[in-house]
Amino acid sequence: MRIDYHTHHNRCGHAQGTLRDMIEAAIAAGMSQIGLSDHSPLFFKEEDHPTPGMTMAKSEFPNYVAEMIALREEYKGRIDVRLGVESDYIRGWPDAYKEIYAAYPFDYVIGSVHYTDGFHVYSRNRWKQENIDVDETYVQYIRHVQEAAVCGVFDILGHIDAMKGLDVPPTVSLTDLWDETADRIAGADVTVEINTSGLFKPCKAWFPSIDLIERLAGRGVTFTFGSDAHSPGQLLHDWDAVVETLRSVGVRELATFRERRRIMIPLPGKMI
Ligand SMILES: [Zn+2]
Ligand SMILES: [Zn+2]
């Protein structure tokens, strides 16, 4: 039972392969489920397609969903295709985004904080600013993650400590703030993904870090797996290590989603 709930394809403008390529790769890897979750359009902007290299146009969104539905039918019996989207969390916009998603038959919506202070979370320019307050930058980012957790729009929180991606660490301990965040996530009963794409970034670590995984697991938070694959070859990246780590912190199930409802499945491997 191997699953991957965070995948991208060429519609976003910076990933390789089609939806079909991703599904075929998942079948070849013997996966039981594949979650398709390309980036949401920038619904909060005026223009139809403000950032072609970042995400699809607003007008392309219905085509994205229609293609997923058609592929799910075509591949029935060979693999379970789950319909998703990786949504931005934009302060002031959750209700509008919620309404947009409600019009489509999604199985799940991932909520990711990509933008704070006008910069993308993986923007090098953020850290090149003169007088940047690194600690305040982290605090702001984590506050956004807390808001995303409780806003009621998302089934899964994406790469929750992605601000560490470019390996500019805070200068103070943020343990208390992360504890508070873990409390809010547990209270909202939203699932957290173990996103292994950080291994390809300067931080060379998963999102979230193992320390944070422990804090979440201790509060009974549920987890799912997401490689954040931007090409079919990245599917399931570091899956075995994630399963082993989750087992080591007492997790025995993984979260899957169908029609916005969570369905827990056993974590593979021997029961301890
Ligand atoms: Zn993301
Ligand atoms: Zn992603």
Q: Where are the domains of the chain?
A: 3-266
156/168 Cα distance (integer angstroms): 26
Distance from the alpha carbon of residue 271 to the mean position of ligand 1, in angstroms: 32
Distance from the alpha carbon of residue 56 to the mean position of ligand 2, in angstroms: 13
Distance from the alpha carbon of residue 88 to the mean position of ligand 1, in angstroms: 8
10/56 Cα distance (integer angstroms): 9
Distance from the alpha carbon of residue 270 to the mean position of ligand 1, in angstroms: 32
Q: 3-class SS at 272?
A: coil
| pLDDT (tens place) for every residue of the chain, 272 residues total | 899 999 999 999 999 999 999 999 999 999 999 999 999 999 999 999 999 999 999 999 999 999 999 999 999 999 999 999 999 999 999 999 999 999 999 999 999 999 999 999 999 999 999 999 999 999 999 999 999 999 999 999 999 999 999 999 999 999 999 999 999 999 999 999 999 999 999 999 999 999 999 999 999 999 999 999 999 999 999 999 999 999 999 999 999 999 999 999 999 875 44
Question: Thinking of the domain 3-266, which architecture would CATH place it in?
Answer: Alpha-Beta Barrel (3.20)
Distance from the alpha carbon of residue 110 to the mean position of ligand 2, in angstroms: 9
**Helix (H) or strand (E) run with residue 193 in it:** strand 191-195
- 66 burial via Cβ count (<10 Å: 0-12, 13-18, 19+): exposed
Residue 268: the pLDDT is 87
Distance from the alpha carbon of residue 62 to the mean position of ligand 2, in angstroms: 19
Q: 3-class SS at 85?
A: strand
Which pair of tokens denotes residue 169? 């660490």
